[in-house]
Amino acid sequence: MADVFAEVDEALKQERLEKLWADHGKWFIAAIVAIILGTAANSAYRSWNESAQIKQTSVLLEALESEDMPAALTQAGENVRPGLRGIALLTAAGALISEEKPGEALALYEKAANDSAIPAELRDLAILMSVRLGTAQEGAQENKKEKQAEFLSKLQSVSSNTKSPWRFHAHLESAVILAHFSQDYKAAQAQLDIILAEQQLPETLSNKASALQHIYALRDLENAKSKGEGS
C-alpha cells in the first residue's frame, strides 16, 4: 500500500512540474539565456577594456620617445581616455617647464584644469600648477588685486574639497599669494594654521608650512612696529 501512495505522490509531483514548465518554461529559458549572455558580455567588456587600455597606453609611451615629446604627448592625449589624457597633459607640461617654456606649460595646465572629463585629482593638480606658474608670469604684479582674487578663487576650488589629495598644498599656495601680493600676513598665517592642524601630512609639507608661519609672524610684527612708529 505504501508503494501505491508513493507512486501517486510521484505522479502528482511530475504533473505539477509539467504544468509549471508549460506555464513558465519560456521565462526560465529566457532567464538562463540572459545570465549566459550577461556573463559573456561582462567577460567581453573586461577583455575589450583591458585591450583598449593597453593600446592607448602604448600610444602615450610611443609619444614619450618622440623628438618633440610635449607636442607628441599633447596630440596623443586627444584620442585616449580622460585619465590617460590628464596624465599626458601634465607630463607634457612638466617637460615644457624643464625646457624653460613656462608659457606653453601654463597653457597645458589650464587645458587640463578646464577639462571636466579628466579625473578630479588630476584636475586639482593642474589647477595648483597653473596658479604656481601664473604667479610667476610677467604682468602678474601689475593688477595685484585682480590677479590675487583670480588665483585664490582657483585654489579655493581645491582647498575646499575635503576629498582632494592636493587641498593642503592649495592652502600653502594661498598663504604665499596672500603674503606676496598684498602683504596680508595674518590671512596667510590663517591658511598655514589649517595645514599645521592636520596631523597626517607629508613631513616636507608640514616643514614648509611651519617655516613660512615663522617668517610671516615676524613680518607681521615688523609691520605692526612700523605702523606704531609712523603714528
Domain span at residue 108? 62-137
Model confidence at 73, pLDDT cuts 50, 70, 90, reads confident
Assess contact for 105 and 68: CB atoms under 8 A: no
> Which has more confidence, 49 or 101?
101
Mean pLDDT of all residues belonging to the chain: 80
Same domain, 212 and 198: yes
11 part of a folded domain: no
Q: What is the DSSP string of the chain?
A: -HHHHHHHHHHHHHHHHHHHHHHHHHHHHHHHHHHHHHHHHHHHHHHHHHHHHHHHHHHHHHHHTSTTHHHHHHHHGGGS-HHHHHHHHHHHHHHHHHTT-HHHHHHHHHHHHT-TTS-HHHHHHHHHHHHHHHHHSTTTTTTHHHHHHHHHHHHHHHHT-TT-TTHHHHHHHHHHHHHHHH--HHHHHHHHHHHHT-SSS-HHHHHHHHHHHHHHHHHHHHHHHHHHHH-
Model confidence at 230, pLDDT cuts 50, 70, 90, reads low
Model confidence at 116, pLDDT cuts 50, 70, 90, reads very high
84 part of a folded domain: yes
Same domain, 105 and 161: no
Give pLDDT, residue 35.
52
Same domain, 100 and 68: yes
Model confidence at 81, pLDDT cuts 50, 70, 90, reads confident
201 part of a folded domain: yes
- pLDDT 10s digits, 17-40: 455 445 555 554 455 445 545 565
Same domain, 106 and 167: no
> Which has more confidence, 51 or 123?
123
52 part of a folded domain: no
pTM: 0.73
Q: Identify the residue whose cell numbers are 618622440.
A: 66
Average pLDDT over residues 114-126: 94
For residue 69, pLDDT beyond 80: yes
Same domain, 133 and 163: no
Q: Report d(CA 36, CA 147) in Å as an integer.
A: 60
Same domain, 148 and 132: no
For residue 48, pLDDT beyond 50: no
Q: Which residues of 120-149 are buried (b: 16+ CB within 10 A; e: fewer)?
A: eebbbbbbbbbbbbbbeeeebeeeeeebbe
Q: End of a domain among 109, 137, 165?
A: 137
Q: End of a domain among 137, 171, 188?
A: 137
- pLDDT 10s digits, 82-95: 888 888 888 889 88
79 part of a folded domain: yes
Assess contact for 84 and 122: CB atoms under 8 A: no
Same domain, 71 and 123: yes
CA dihedral 3, 7, 12, 16 (to 10 degrees): 130
Question: Distance of alpha carbon 206 from its chain centroid, rounded?
Answer: 22
Overall number of domains in the chain: 2
Same domain, 164 and 199: yes
157 part of a folded domain: yes
For residue 197, pLDDT beyond 50: yes
For residue 154, pLDDT beyond 70: yes
102 part of a folded domain: yes
50 part of a folded domain: no
